[in-house]
Amino acid sequence: MSAHRNRLFAALSISIAAAGLSAGAYAVDEEAARALARQNGCFKCHSVEKTLDGPAYKSVAAKYRGKADAEARLITHITTGEKAKFPDGHVEEHKIIKTKDMNEIKNLVSWILSL
């Protein structure tokens, strides 16, 4: 009887955790992410679908899918001006996003990774 209760408790915990993760995925504010990208001119070099001077956001999402450090890598990429390689082979500093609000930055990164 006690083992049955434990199994029930474990199942319930997993369900709650899954619901939490799912809620996390829904927590991405796409409109806010797009607005931040527009304001910072990200779409001058990136598109959701097409490769421009920078890779399509869908390619970025595919590249980092399943990688534990995906969020941290992208945050570093858009906040530190690290070197980025362009299609013609030249290398230059990536633009630094003009906000210090980490919640806004994380929302943008989460949106890109969700594509």
The Cα-based distances of 106 to 4, 57, 76, 80 in angstroms read 41, 15, 11, 14
- Of residues 19, 92, 101, 102, which one binds other proteins by CB under 8 A? 92
The Cα-based distances of 14 to 2, 7, 22, 38 in angstroms read 18, 11, 12, 38
Q: Near other proteins by CB under 8 A, which window of 4-12, 66-74, 85-93, 107-115?
A: 85-93
Question: How many amino acids of this chain bind other proteins (CB under 8 A)?
Answer: 19
Binding positions for other proteins, 25-64, rule CB under 8 A: 31, 34-35, 38-39, 43-48, 50, 52-53
Q: Residues 81, 83, 86, 90: is their CA dihedral positive or negative?
A: positive
Q: Which residues bind other proteins (CB under 8 A)?
A: 31, 34-35, 38-39, 43-48, 50, 52-53, 86, 90, 92-93, 98
